[in-house]
Amino acid sequence: MPKIIILPHHDLCPEGDIIEAKKGTSVCDALLSNNIHIEHACDQVCACTTCHVIIREGLQSLNPSDENEDDMLDKAWGLSPQSRLSCQAIVSDHDLTVEIPKYTINLAKEG
């Protein structure tokens, strides 16, 4: 089973973690099922950027992003070339290293 290495995040995973993820599951679902409570304000339908992550290793093993995801990512805080919406990034057979950005744009939470 592939592993996801989560880099330390001050609020969500202060020590970092290594979790196992079933092939075919989204990175978001894998995090949530392992008690890493990443935001997902749109209920994982690619309509916001709150589940934005940066794939530090293993990006090429994920399914390619589509135009809708790319358009949403343009609005994400801290966008990088390795950015994905974790609700759309599907785990394959390869391990991943994931960074959860420090900030997220969540108008429902912040507004």
Compute the distance between CA of residue 46 and CA of residue 74 in angstroms, rounded to an integer. Answer: 12
How is the chain split into domains, by residue range?
3-110
Mean pLDDT of the chain: 93
For CA atoms 105, 110, 44, 68, give the dihedral sign: negative
Tell me the pTM.
Answer: 0.92
Compute the distance between CA of residue 1 and CA of residue 28 in angstroms, rounded to an integer. Answer: 16
The tens digit of pLDDT for each residue in 71-109 reads 999 999 999 999 999 999 999 999 999 999 988 876 555
CATH topology of domain 3-110: Ubiquitin-like (UB roll) (3.10.20)
Average pLDDT, integer, range 52-71: 97
Residue 49 CA from chain centroid, whole number: 10
> Residue 111 above 70 pLDDT?
no
CA distances from 85 to 35, 90, 111 (A): 18, 10, 22
